[in-house]
């Protein structure tokens, strides 16, 4: 079933034809009017109530089709997730940094939803996987703690606001230092940022790279004097190449900075924010939920499993979702996607081919496949790149 999917125009999105979201949707929706002054931030594919996908042929919501045909989900998925599609599949086009944030565990999400239903609007967890479509920047997980200590020691402006520098136990130092930056008085933070940027004007290019000066300046331009700017010295700065991925488990601090990516997640919208955002900030909740453990950036890259010559599997440690990246050369006569026991959504990123003798695969085309259905690709006229989302059962 071909799907019509919804676009979200958040302010942080890339504008006009610079947005992968906009170019994908405009290629398949002839009624879509692309405006070069409008941000196109997210394309949502799934059943989430905030932007439900529609079956093109009938005009029905995908959620209604699944409700009427629970067998489409697959028996295991239907039983485990009470007849609901458990994942939300997205494309993101990021121009301006998203917030310093983390997502609660399932138990914590239930607590937050019960206490603050207007802020945390569902009781589900929200682990997520981001796969770069273009060069993609993100902050992800705490840096090795020795790196954080080194930044604190060598950047006098940072040292002046970090509490707990004399604490020898690494995790306790990190917990205290992280909170002290996020709770720093706004007047002191403004003075700190001004002094840092002024001093960075006098250092050489090698030092600017070490101290992430250009990134600090860019984040300051986007969110002037925000406490979250200094998180670049606490979190791993990741520069992903297309196809590389990061997995964001519960209580894992992160922020997307720029680029286009595929994202798949549990079907939730629970976010605890603490900086780089005009939205509600909940520093106490965030600081109380994080796992204070330093990791190398290479440890944050998510490894794939080769399923066959055309398919690599991104398989996170949760049952809610997985993603297959499918690359098919134009020299391939035909290819049959691997059968899945779960319902799935297939998105074409690039290339051209026929499928099942029923239509054309082209960039932006989105298909829903019931469990155990097979998609056969033929007449591949241009190398094909697709991503397929499904439950990880």
| CA 127/CA 317 separation, integer angstroms | 10
What's the rounded Cα separation, in Å, for the pair 117 and 91?
Answer: 27
Percentages (nearest 5) of helix, strand, coil residues in the chain: 30, 30, 40
170-182 helix and 145-154 helix, angle to the nearest 10 degrees? 50
Which helix (H) or strand (E) is 178 found in, with range?
A: helix 170-182
Helix (H) or strand (E) segment spanning residue 93: strand 87-94
- Helix (H), strand (E) at residue 11: none
Structural tokens at position 328:
């098919």
Rounded distance, CA 91 to CA 106, Å? 24
| Among 97, 89, 171, 86, residue whose Cα is nearest residue 139 | 97
Burial 92-119 (b: 16+ CB within 10 A, else e): bbbbbbbbbbbbbebebbbebbeeeeee
Angle at alpha carbon of residue 65, lines to 62 and 90, rounded to 5°: 20
218 is catalytic: no
User: Which 3 state secondary structure label does DSSP give 324?
Assistant: strand
Q: Which residue has the tokens 């940027």?
A: 197
Please give the structure tokens belonging to residue 265: 């997640």
Structure tokens at 85: 């599609």
Looking at 143, 149, 179, 273, which residue is catalytic? Answer: 273
Q: Supply the residues annotated as catalytic.
A: 273
């Amino acid at each position: 079933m071909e799907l019509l999917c919804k676009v979200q125009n958040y302010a942080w999105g890339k504008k006009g034809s610079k947005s992968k979201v906009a170019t994908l949707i405009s290629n398949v929706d002839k009624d879509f009017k692309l405006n070069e002054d409008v941000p196109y931030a997210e394309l949502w594919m799934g059943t989430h109530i905030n932007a439900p996908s529609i079956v093109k042929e009938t005009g029905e919501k995908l959620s209604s089709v699944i409700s009427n045909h629970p067998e489409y989900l697959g028996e295991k998925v239907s039983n485990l997730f009470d007849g609901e599609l458990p994942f939300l599949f997205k494309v993101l086009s990021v121009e301006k940094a998203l917030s310093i944030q983390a997502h609660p565990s399932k138990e914590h999400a239930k607590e937050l939803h019960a206490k603050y239903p207007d802020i945390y609007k569902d009781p589900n967890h929200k682990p997520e996987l981001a796969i770069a479509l273009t060069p993609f920047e993100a902050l992800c997980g705490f840096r090795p703690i020795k790196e954080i200590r080194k930044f604190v020691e060598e950047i006098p402006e940072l040292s002046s606001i970090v509490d707990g520098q004399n604490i020898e136990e690494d995790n306790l130092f990190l917990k205290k230092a992280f909170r002290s930056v996020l709770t720093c008085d706004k007047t002191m933070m403004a003075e700190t940022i001004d002094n840092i940027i002024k001093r960075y004007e006098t250092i050489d290019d090698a030092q600017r790279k070490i101290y992430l000066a250009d990134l600090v300046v860019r984040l300051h331009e986007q969110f002037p004097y925000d406490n979250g700017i200094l998180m670049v010295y606490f979190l791993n700065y990741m520069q992903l190449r297309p196809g590389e991925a990061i997995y964001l488990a519960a209580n894992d601090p992160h922020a997307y900075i720029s680029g286009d990516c595929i994202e798949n997640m549990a079907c939730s919208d629970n976010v605890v924010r603490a900086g780089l955002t005009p939205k509600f900030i909940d520093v106490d909740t965030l600081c109380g939920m994080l796992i204070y453990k330093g990791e190398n950036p290479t440890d944050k890259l998510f490894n794939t499993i080769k399923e066959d010559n055309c398919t690599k599997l991104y398989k996170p440690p949760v049952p809610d979702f997985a993603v297959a990246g499918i690359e098919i050369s134009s020299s391939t006569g035909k290819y049959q996607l691997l059968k899945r026991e779960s319902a799935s959504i297939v998105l074409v990123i690039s290339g051209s081919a026929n499928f099942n003798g029923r239509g054309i695969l082209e960039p932006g085309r989105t298909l829903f496949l019931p469990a155990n259905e097979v998609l056969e690709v033929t007449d591949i006229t241009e190398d094909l790149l697709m991503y397929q989302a499904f439950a990880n059962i």
